[in-house]
Each structure stands twice: as structure tokens, then as C-alpha cells.
Amino acid sequence: MASFAPAGDALGHTADLAHRAAFPLLGIPLEIRSNSPDVIAAAEMAFGRWRSLPPDLVQAAAPAIVSVVVHPVHDGRKAGEERSFVYRVHDRCFLGSDGTNMLTAQYDRGRALAFIAPELLLRDDELRQNVLQLLSLLLVTQHDRVPLHAGAVVHDGLAILLAGPSTAGKSTLCYACLRDGFQLLAEDAVYVSRTPTLRLWGLGGDIHLMPDAVRFFPELADVPARHQPTGKFKLTVDTGRFGPGRAVSHAERAVVCLVERHARAETLMEPIQAGEAVEALSANPEPGFDLYEGRAAAAGAIAGKGAYRITVGHDLASATAALRALT
């Protein structure tokens, strides 16, 4: 049952956003405000672990503010019917809507606002990913947090960025590394800050795998494939199943590893020029990643510490062993 204090007007502008929570997301102060305790509970699930970040890593800045107003809408949608969000960006302003739920963010003001229907409170994954994480990351990444499209695993304090297109198998390799004792920094996006020193940030948490990943990892046979906010069906695996401390929030040493697939079983690892890694991480970015300047500089700061190519076959154990050797 959705819980919220309704506004006293049709437009929702009198909603009392009395429920609040604060988090240092990616080391940037963030405040979530809402007229629903359910929104705050979802924010705690999404961002609660960031409160353990050492205080000296939290930037002294005014908090980014995300306001979420729960407001009933009668649009003729059938019960249980879902629609995909459509997003638009122009001139430092973001807009998103699925026809019922509406999102907006003004980057230069550090403010974001969402009007959501009560029904969205019952869809936890969509609320966290398509509203709270999306709007919060749009704001905090304006503070020297450049996103790069890559997964990242950590061993002995060294982060290994796994870069490549969406079909390269980055998530599969991340999960194989977790099984082999690595920690997870990020599955799909790494956020790079370069001032006052190089630091990589990641959301850690879940890994999303295609349903056929069961052929590599039979222990996932009991994990149901679920419809994701992106529209795909995937297995959602919580890193917590490997024990505490397996998701990390940041790292200060890193190398880049471009991931490729081949049909043979053995793994091939070779050093490459830093420029090739920078090109892979910064050129032709996917939608969303293209909103940020400084991708090449952020990628170059990491690739200068070491750049490699790993060609992965069917033997994932040899791939994780090759990555471990880099550390």
C-alpha cells in the first residue's frame, strides 16, 4: 500500500515535502525530499551505504536537492500497464516522462523535481533507477564526476576498468571476478574526479546479467529474470550474496582493460597504447555519456597508469586469473 500525504490542490504545488534524507553520493552532498516515506525508504536502499564514506572524501558544497512529489494522476492507463520513459536534454535542463510520471532537473541550480503517481511506489526497481538514481546522478556529476562507460572491479586496492561495447561481456566478467574474490566498483558506469587527486567512484551494488549467464554460473538458476527499467529482461544479482565489503565506493589507483570476445577457450592479455584505451572510453559515447565534457581527459588520466586488451573466451577462470595478475 503506497503511503503519502496528498497535496490539497490539483497541480500538487501544496504537497508538504516533510520526509527527508541526506547522503554523500559520489562524495557530493545530496538531499532527497518527498511527501512520502516510501520514497525515502527507496532512497535509503539506493544510497544508504554512502553514509560510511570517510568525511574527508565528502566535498564541501551546498547539497544537490531532489524533490519527489507523489501525486495521483488519472490518465486512463490500465492497472499494471507500464510505459517506457522518454528523455530530453537542452541548455542545462533535463526532462523525462512516461506519460504519467514527470521528471525535470536544472543542472546549474543543483535542483531536480519529480511528480510520480502512487503506483510507482510499488515498483521499487523503477523508482530507484529511473527516478532517484537518474536525477541524483544528473546533479552530483556536475561536480568533477565525469562518467565513463565501463565496469570496474578492484583487487588489492587497484581498480581495473573493463571497457567495451554493451555486447562485450563486461557484466559477465565483473560477476566472474566477484566469484574469484574481487570487489565491485561499478557494473556499467565509472565516475572520475581529478581534483585534488585522481579518484574513481562507482555505485557497486547489483550486477545485471542476461538470462543465458546461467550456462556459466549454474548457481544463478534460481534467480528469476525480471523486466528492467531499460526494457530488457535480466538477472539481478546483489553483490551482498558474496558477503560484506564486496561493493566498494571508490578507488584511487586504476588501469584500463579493453574487453573483447572470441570463440576460443583461452584468454589473451596484451598491453596496448594509452591512446587506444582513451579512444575506446571517450569516442562515440552512448546516449547520456555524451552530456559530459572532459571524457578524454578523464580516460587519459587512468590509461596513463596502464592500458591492456583482454580477449575472453569460454574459460572465465583464466580471464579472472589474467586480471588478478595485473594487480
Sequence-distant (6+) residues with CB within 8 A of 260 are 164, 168, 309, 310, 311, 312
Q: Provide the pLDDT for residue 81.
A: 60
Query: Which residue among 140, 165, 185 closes a domain?
Result: 140
What is the mean pLDDT of the segment spanning 96-116?
Answer: 95
Q: Provide the pLDDT for residue 79.
A: 53
Q: Provide the pLDDT for residue 242.
A: 86
Residues 88 and 169 in one domain: no
Strand segments (E) across the chain: 19-25, 28-34, 64-70, 86-90, 93-97, 102-106, 111-116, 146-155, 158-163, 183-186, 189-193, 199-201, 206-209, 225-227, 233-238, 250-251, 253-261, 268-271, 307-312
Does any domain span residue 230? yes
pLDDT for 5 beyond 70: yes
Query: Which residue among 121, 140, 159 closes a domain?
Result: 140
Name the least confident of 7-11, 28-32, 165-169: 165-169
Q: Provide the pLDDT for residue 244.
A: 86
Does any domain span residue 5? no
Residues 259 and 297 in one domain: yes
pLDDT for 93 beyond 60: yes
pLDDT for 14 beyond 90: yes
Higher pLDDT among residues 1 and 56, named by residue = 56
Residues 110 and 28 in one domain: yes
Does any domain span residue 153? yes
Q: Provide the pLDDT for residue 201.
A: 98
The reported pTM is 0.92
220-253 pLDDT, tens digit each: 888 887 766 566 778 888 888 888 889 999 999 9
Tell me the CA distances in angstroms from 138 to 11, 34, 174, 225, 309, one per residue in order: 25, 18, 25, 28, 31
Does any domain span residue 14? no
Q: Provide the pLDDT for residue 77.
A: 58
What is the mean pLDDT of the segment spanning 176-186?
Answer: 94
Residue listed under C-alpha cell 503517481 = 117
pLDDT for 191 beyond 60: yes
Strands of 225-227's sheet, edge to edge?
Answer: 206-209, 233-238, 225-227
Residues 171 and 320 in one domain: yes
pLDDT for 277 beyond 70: yes
What is the mean pLDDT of the segment spanning 275-282?
Answer: 94
Q: Are the C-beta atoms of 68 and 32 separated by less than 8 Å?
A: yes
pLDDT for 255 beyond 80: yes
292-308 pLDDT, tens digit each: 989 999 999 999 999 99
Q: Please give the share of the chain, as a percent, with pLDDT higher than 70.
A: 95
Residues 280 and 216 in one domain: yes
Full domain range(s) for residue 198: 146-326
Higher pLDDT among residues 207 and 43, named by residue = 43
Q: Provide the pLDDT for residue 285.
A: 87
Residues 113 and 238 in one domain: no
Q: Provide the pLDDT for residue 313.
A: 83
Residues 150 and 284 in one domain: yes
* DSSP annotation of 133: I
Q: Provide the pLDDT for residue 224.
A: 80
Name the least confident of 69-78, 156-165, 199-208, 287-296: 69-78
Residues 124 and 165 in one domain: no
Tally of domains within the chain: 2
Residues 193 and 305 in one domain: yes
Higher pLDDT among residues 20 and 327, named by residue = 20
Does any domain span residue 82? yes
Q: Are the C-beta atoms of 64 and 139 separated by less than 8 Å?
A: yes
Mean pLDDT over each residue of the chain, to the nearest integer: 91
Residues 200 and 136 in one domain: no
Query: Which residue among 107, 140, 173 closes a domain?
Result: 140
Here the CATH number for the domain that contains residue 234 is 3.40.50
Nearest to 40 by CA among 9, 78, 66: 66
Residues 89 and 234 in one domain: no
DSSP string, 241-263: GG-TT-B-SEESEEEEEEEEE-S
37-79 pLDDT, tens digit each: 999 999 999 999 999 999 999 999 999 999 999 999 866 555 5
Overall size of the chain counted in residues: 327
Which of the four pLDDT bands, split at 50, 70 and 90, describes residue 265? low
Sequence-distant (6+) residues with CB within 8 A of 201 are 26, 27, 145, 185, 190, 191, 192, 193, 249, 250
Residues 206 and 311 in one domain: yes
Does any domain span residue 270? yes
Does any domain span residue 9? no
Does any domain span residue 119? yes
Q: Provide the pLDDT for residue 121.
A: 95
